[in-house]
Amino acid sequence: MKKFLAIFLLVLFLPFVNISATTYDDTGNAGYNPTESKETELAGGVTHIKAKGYTIRNNQDYSQQVNVLQMKTRENAKVATWAIRNSSGTGYTRNTVATIAKDYEKHHPGWKVVGAMNADQYYFGYGNGLTADGTAQFQPQPYYPMIADYEKWFAITATPYNNGHVVGFLNDGSEDQLLYQNAGWNYKGEDKVEIAGLFLTITKEDATYRFEIENFNKKPNDGESSIFSPYYVDKKVPDLPVTGDLFIVEEADLAYTSNSKTYTAVKPHNENAFFGKGKISTRINSSVLLKQGQFAIETKNPELLEVLEVGDYVLAQFEFEGKLNEVESAIGFHKIMRVDDKDKPMTGSYNETLYPRAMFGRKSDGTIVFVTVDGRQATKGMNGVNMEEANAILKHYGVVEAYQLDGGGSVTMVVRNGDKFETVNSPSDGQDRAVLSALLFVVKDVEVENNIEVTSNKISFDINILDPKVSKLYINFNGETKEIKDGKIEFTNLTPNTPYTYQFISEKDGELIPDVEVHTIYTAKREPKFNYLSLFDNGDNILCDAIFDDLDGAVTYIRVTIGDESKNIFSKPINFQKTQDLDLRNIQITYRYDLNNGKGETTIDVNKANVCADLKVVMDSIRNLISNEIKSIYN
């Protein structure tokens, strides 16, 4: 059992291991030899490999640095795509891969990003040219289609020239779980992306409905429906005048037209590409000016008209024919690298250039692999690779199907380190570049209801497992792993006011899966004991201090009342004015403490506090007492 439990560390580091084995690409023109390699087992079944070595090309050695992330997908571990929407909901913003990972977690409670890399190339300027500019005015946008959370954020490729590569992730754990298709408008192959049409999905509390929308920014005929939304004209989005019986989404979560035949600069056969979602806020039968970030629905379809109403949440998007329409995540890419364990021949200057590269693919058993190769940093031993060298690297790590993503300064790989993300490669810009999208390895921790009782020397867990597929649940508590039986477990003889870590480990189908998140919990503080008030004659004043046995700093508030005067004591003694009302028998103190046990603060009132006073204070009190007694006799 101890051997079994020893594997459950959040991160298992293996030192750099010297290895020597050259792998050549299919042409034999390029080879790869990782001379040093360090493998790290991350949480959630993700493995990170960091390798230093060299590639061989034209009988010359070129030093390289390679990073590899790999994971077998399963129900609670998958590949996700993500980009960050802008604040107005009219598109997306460029951010570092780490920031994109954090944003994904923000929008997907319970899911944790374990590792990530940059994804598709993207347009970030206006105009007609590739690389810096796009075929449409909407930017930033990816070159090729993108699906996230089953939503077709970019259904119609913005780069229609010959190919519009896209891969959907089935995330089903199968051997062949990458779905390749080509979205190029002139492409005629069997794996061509076919647009099924523009559809509206309506979500109500008790049902979901789906209708085809026949028109965009065009009045509907009988039996048809239309969506209206503003779009870019000369780098601006003018208000769009619309008249009709309109259901309007005034504050959409997202609403944009990423390319359209109305304003696209190059191809004459471009299609409209609208995406929008949000709650219908109003219905009017008149004229309106739609602003950027808004959209409206007009329908002469009696079935849709019967269903649609104010308050409905609607999703409008172009959808695909076939299996691509069913995937949760899909991303575009630049080049096909390997297919059926064979290199894909490539020519052209870009393919021959020594370049930082980012690639993804799968092994023969279906394991998904992310790979980065650093470049443009020869003095650091990072030369970058051409396509043949890249294929040799992919082949070395057993990647049988592979695709190339955005390269150059965009190449970034991050892994989770506690609550933060650490960049493990060396971006050629000298820092992480802001990119549009990222590929993520995400894992969902086991779902439990966890009631915790904390004392100063014991922590007890009362756990209800919500996932029926979990056959056993373990907990790694501060390095000690135990099975949780009957939903209860406790750890005793602990040190008061001390942090302890714990991590759940679930067993599913005989596989042990540690949670990504490692929790920190403190034992309670010991209850403080009030001893006495110290009073010291300080000339014109009385210096007062409260003396406690407070070993763990639990006391949060102290207030002392002497006569008619009340003061708070913080970190040091305070002065009270001398008065004729001083009576050491009737000094009050109120204090609060928090044991950090989840029960909040406790308030204690001491009406007659114990006092330790110097002789002057005692004599003044006695004098005042005698004087007041005499006055009471004669009055």
454-476 tens-digit pLDDT:
999 999 999 999 999 999 999 99
pLDDT at residue 172, rounded to an integer: 96
Question: Which of 372-376, 414-418, 583-587 shows the lowest per-residue confidence on average (mean pLDDT)?
Answer: 583-587
pLDDT at residue 563, rounded to an integer: 80
Q: What is the enclosing helix (H) or strand (E) of 459?
A: strand 459-465
pLDDT at residue 126, rounded to an integer: 63
Question: Which of 65-74, 101-110, 149-158, 397-406 shows the lowest per-residue confidence on average (mean pLDDT)?
Answer: 149-158
Is it true that 448-522 and 529-634 share their CATH fold? yes
- The model's pLDDT over 563-599, given as tens digits with 9 standing for 90+, comes to 888 999 987 899 998 877 778 878 899 999 999 998 8
pTM: 0.85
pLDDT at 262 over 70: no
Give the amino acid at 561. T
What average pLDDT score do residues 226-249 get? 92
Question: Which of 112-116, 167-171, 560-564 shows the lowest per-residue confidence on average (mean pLDDT)?
Answer: 560-564
Three-state DSSP string of 24-40: ECCCCCEEEEEEEEEEE
pLDDT-derived band at 3 (thresholds 50, 70, 90) equals very low
Of residues 1 and 43, the one with the higher pLDDT is 43
DSSP code per residue over 585-605:
TS-EEEEEEE-SSSS-EEEEE
What is the total residue count of the chain? 635
- The model's pLDDT over 205-225, given as tens digits with 9 standing for 90+, comes to 999 999 999 999 999 999 999
pLDDT at 250 over 60: yes
pLDDT at 19 over 80: no
| CA gap 482, 559 in Å, rounded | 46
- pLDDT averaged over every residue in the chain: 90
Q: What is the enclosing helix (H) or strand (E) of 185?
A: none
What average pLDDT score do residues 609-614 get? 90
pLDDT at 268 over 80: no
CATH code of 448-522, in short, is 2.60.40.10
pLDDT at 20 over 80: no
Domain positions in the chain: 2-66+333-375+386-444, 121-330, 448-522, 529-634
What average pLDDT score do residues 233-246 get? 90
pLDDT at 13 over 70: no
pLDDT-derived band at 160 (thresholds 50, 70, 90) equals low
pLDDT at 145 over 80: yes
pLDDT at 528 over 60: yes
pLDDT at 11 over 80: no
Of residues 437 and 125, the one with the higher pLDDT is 437
pLDDT at residue 582, rounded to an integer: 78
What average pLDDT score do residues 342-346 get? 93
pLDDT at residue 161, rounded to an integer: 64
CB 288 within 8 A of CB 282: no
pLDDT at 7 over 90: no
What average pLDDT score do residues 527-547 get? 92
Three-state DSSP string of 111-144: EEEEEEEECCCEECCCCCCCCCCCCCCCCCEECC
What average pLDDT score do residues 304-316 get? 98
| CA gap 213, 193 in Å, rounded | 19
287: buried, middle or exposed (CB in 10 Å: 19+, 13-18, 0-12)? Answer: exposed
pLDDT-derived band at 6 (thresholds 50, 70, 90) equals very low
In this prediction, what percent of the chain has a pLDDT beyond 70?
92
pLDDT-derived band at 18 (thresholds 50, 70, 90) equals low
CATH code of 529-634, in short, is 2.60.40
Instruction: At 102, give phi and psi (nearest 5°).
Output: -65, -40
What average pLDDT score do residues 448-454 get? 96
